[in-house]
Structure 1
Amino acid sequence: MHLAAGPVAPLAAHDLMVFLLQVGLLLGLAVALGRLFTRLGLSAVVGELFVGVLLGPSLLGHLAPGFAEWLLPHDPARFHLLDAFGQVGVVLMVGVTGLQMDLGLVRRRGATAVRVSVPGILVPLGLGIGLAYLLPGSLLGSVSDRGTFALFVGVAMGVSAIPVIAKTLIELGLLHRNIGQLILCAVTVDDIVGWLLLSVVSAMATVGVSGGRVLHSIANLVVVVVLALVLRRVVTAAGRRIAAGRRIAAGPSVPAVLVGALVLAAAGTQALGLEAVFGAFLCGLALSGTPLADPERLAPVRTVVVSVLAPVFFATAGLRMDLTALGRPAVLAAGLAVLAVAIAGKFGGAYLGSRLSRMSHWEGLALGAGMNARGVIEVVVAMVGLKLGVLSQEMYTVVILVAIVTSLMAPPLLRRFMARIEETAEERLREQALTPGSVAVHL
């Protein structure tokens, strides 16, 4: 087999300099704006996305197009280098999210969480699919299949974002409340279902929607889930044997094993025609609660991912937004319609689930406010849709806008609704027992 015609030329000095400048500038601004938005009581993710808005076509590309083209050239070879850096970040970020999920909480409050989560997903999913068939054809991407486009929009409307919600609950001091615990549990179910749906819809966008191909994608999905369950059993059993003899050695080996496992799992699902992020999430979920996911050993990985890789990814995602597109009446009308459906669908679905569980009116509204925050997962869904050619640049901007607005809405609405719900003695005891180090999910 002929592997190469000759040695591969190294990256040009100018290209390397521009890439390093891009990463340094995006990271510095993402950290600064993330901290600023946190001080304002908002999510750091929104601040990080705004970095891309400032440096992308929305502002810098409009005010100084020459400098913007030099700093962030449209040449695919150059932009793909930055994009690859961001993709590694999102794979590890999603994997770390899975590692920190508390499956014990799902088991303890599973029935109520499912009753809340199922309508909380199905209602916005159905409304999103219906709305997508009414949107103008100009919002479809290069893969101009209306059915696949509608499914992608539906998935984007149905998901929630556990990192944003968990962070909001912690900052508002609501994690010890029964509603706070239930929101976290229901969104955990949402996350799992959301990644499953994204993986199936992505496979459909790649291989088409014929019955045989869809069944093949679902079969691959089942294989991946079974392998994850086997991995969890093997690691748990090995961890018990090691714990019976000696502690797992500390040091760089455990973080390296974790990162390697997440990346290889992502590569495996990508090879099967499923999304890479789904493999990383499922691997993290399989390893959660095992000795490998011990918070002390996970700390080095989490620090690098949360402090360096994730901010660059969100800033890169913001670079693809073009808010000037909202100046066109058709795009603005579509954006407002999608935003209204996303909010009404998630609020309505969560409220319906809460009432079916015999919860009060204010508890239902609080659940809706918490589960309405899309944040991280909606950004990933939008990036996948754009990459696969299902979403146009304008529709991508609309979906990211939904993620930003719903993440901004969560804190004030939660604060208002929770003030109407009386705190119980059990919740006060839980607050005393709950320390920052005991929080399972705090990405």
Structure 2
Amino acid sequence: MALDPVPPIGGAPLALFFTQVGVLLLMATLLGRLAVRLKLPAIVGELLTGVILGPSLIGHSLPQVASRLFPHSAEQAHLLDAFGQIGVVLLVAITGLQLDTRLVRKRAATAARVSLPGFLIPLALGIGVGSLVPASLLAESSDRTVFAMFLGIAMSVSAIPVIAKTLMDLGLLHRNVGQLILVSGTVDDVLAWLGLSVVTAMATTGVHAAGLAETVGYLLLFVVGSLFVGRPLVRKVMRTTAKSAEPGVTLGVTVVIVILFSVTTHALGFEAIFGALVAGVLIRSGGKDVLTRLAPLRTFVMAVLAPVFFATAGLRMDLTALADPMVLATALLLLLIAVVGKFAGAFIGAWSSGLSRWEAVALGAGMNARGVVEVIVAMVGLRLGVLSTAMYTVIVLIAVATSLMGPPILRMAMSRLEVTAEEQLRRAELDDTLDRDGRAPVPHG
């Protein structure tokens, strides 16, 4: 017996959804460009879009306007969330495309000595503070252990997209320390995604030894399977698409692969974005022709999907929560822990590797930027019910603050380091590569 087809979405909800996306994208684009003109990361303006339209400003001062544009309707909110989730999955996949695994293998020993303290120290500090945060700041359904673990992960992340953009803007991508920052940040990011996957599983299945062992087992199985089965298969598929005269084939297949990997990790109880990250790393193995064909996808994601996602992330912030002395004190303490923990960890790792004081300072400044990654982590915590609105707001503010303080400190430290002959050669090779790609050479540092 045939079932009646599901009726399409009604006119009013669809019109409102289109309006929401249009308003968010317009404001995020304008404020993002304004932020760039002010020498700030674009994400600052994109998040500010949500802050203005959300409960922090419009929702607080003009509640009727806010309720008409963003009504308290689960179905309507889910439409916007679904749009944002597509954006964040593709954004994380593009981050995976930027991870140079050959560079990681080449400088693995030094990167490990730098990145591990830079990851473990803020992780331990975050877990410690998470165990002491007043119960009033926890979400109603949040387990204290899961919350503490989640806070530790949020404190320990770095953000490869922010780090790479900062190094390029400052003309430091060719410097030895710049390369080491990139590799060490990559190691930190991978560890953070693995940790986030485990904490996500703990939040959904509960905290018990058997469940944790099963979670780690599934995680290892997925990673090993991706490495030994997924990698050659994805490489072959992507190289085959690169032979097509139509570039759209490569783009379409890429999105399919990202979605399949995301669905797989989600089905295993992990975050879909971890699967997207792995998919991006594997797609990169298809070669330069594949990466060139994916340039339009990157442009669309960065110019359309990502700004809307970060604007929706800002919608969930409530800066009025900082009027509570307890929330404000917690925010300042966590910011101090995030900065000191990452700086101390990276500095200790660099110092123990025989690097100079200013090289160690530069590494700490570069890896301290959390930006995009910490915002995504915060959104995951809010969706899982691990974070309250107040704690979510605090973590996003930390992401913005650490991204703002990195460039000036990095510029100051690198100005005290002489440029070597090896770096000058790498500079020339980088300029040549960028010229062939049709882009202007990065500015000299």
After TM superposition, is the score higher than 0.5? yes
Q: Does 1:284 align with 2:283?
A: no
In structure 2, which of residues 201, 205, 216 is the aligned counterpart of residue 203 of structure 1? Answer: 201
In structure 2, which of residues 288, 298, 305 is the aligned counterpart of residue 302 of structure 1? Answer: 298
In structure 2, which of residues 187, 205, 226 is the aligned counterpart of residue 228 of structure 1? Answer: 226
Q: Distance in 1 between matches of 2:116 and 2:54?
A: 37
2:180 maps to what in 1? 182
Q: Is the CA contact (8 Å cut-off) linking 2:236 and 2:286 kept in structure 1?
A: no
Q: Does 1:367 align with 2:347?
A: no
Q: Distance in 2 between matches of 1:222 and 1:3?
A: 43
Q: Distance in 2 between matches of 1:370 and 1:239?
A: 33
The amino acid across from 1:267 in the alignment is V
Per-residue Cα deviation, 1:232-270 (whole angstroms, up to 9, x for no partner): 123345677x69xx9454421110000011011111111
Indicate the SS of the match to 2:294.
helix
The amino acid across from 2:272 in the alignment is A
Which is further off, 49-58 or 426-435?
426-435
Q: Distance in 2 between matches of 1:438 and 1:218?
A: 44
Per-residue Cα deviation, 1:130-153 (whole angstroms, up to 9, x for no partner): 011121111211333111000000
Match runs of 1:155-170 below 5 Å: 155-170=153-168
Q: Is the CA contact (8 Å cut-off) linking 1:259 and 1:301 kept in structure 2?
A: no
Per-residue Cα deviation, 1:318-345 (whole angstroms, up to 9, x for no partner): 1000001000100000000111100000
1:337 maps to what in 2? 333
Q: How many residues align?
A: 435
Q: Distance in 2 between matches of 1:41 and 1:437?
A: 24
Q: Does 1:402 align with 2:414?
A: no
Q: Does 1:346 align with 2:342?
A: yes
Match runs of 1:384-399 below 5 Å: 384-399=380-395
**Percent identity between the two aligned chains:** 55
Q: Does 1:412 align with 2:408?
A: yes
Per-residue Cα deviation, 1:202-237 (whole angstroms, up to 9, x for no partner): 000100111111111111111211221121123345
Q: Does 1:112 align with 2:117?
A: no
Per-residue Cα deviation, 1:349-375 (whole angstroms, up to 9, x for no partner): 000100110111111111000000001
The amino acid across from 2:333 in the alignment is A
Which is further off, 315-324 or 290-299?
290-299
The amino acid across from 2:345 in the alignment is G
Q: Does 1:57 align with 2:55?
A: yes
Which is further off, 86-95 or 207-216?
207-216
| Shift of residue 3, structure 1, vs aligned partner | 9.8
Question: Residues 358 and 24 (structure 1 numbering): CA distance in 2 closer, same or farther, change over 3 Å?
Answer: same
| Shift of residue 120, structure 1, vs aligned partner | 0.6
Q: Does 1:432 align with 2:428?
A: yes
Indicate the SS of the match to 2:347.
helix
Q: Distance in 1 between matches of 2:245 and 2:358?
A: 48
- Structure 1: segments with no counterpart, 5+ residues: none
1:380 maps to what in 2? 376
Q: Does 1:421 align with 2:420?
A: no
Q: Distance in 2 between matches of 1:90 and 1:437?
A: 30
- Structure 2: segments with no counterpart, 5+ residues: none
Per-residue Cα deviation, 1:399-437 (whole angstroms, up to 9, x for no partner): 001001001111111111111112212212211221336
In structure 2, which of residues 23, 29, 32 is the aligned counterpart of residue 31 of structure 1? Answer: 29
Q: Distance in 1 between matches of 2:415 and 2:262?
A: 42
Structure 2-normalised TM-score? Answer: 0.94
The amino acid across from 1:432 in the alignment is A
Indicate the SS of the match to 1:57.
coil
Structure 1-normalised TM-score? Answer: 0.94
2:101 maps to what in 1? 103
How big is the alpha-carbon RMSD for the aligned residues of Structure 1 and Structure 2? 1.9
| Shift of residue 293, structure 1, vs aligned partner | 6.9
In structure 2, which of residues 301, 324, 330 is the aligned counterpart of residue 328 of structure 1? Answer: 324
Q: Is the CA contact (8 Å cut-off) linking 1:46 and 1:407 kept in structure 2?
A: no
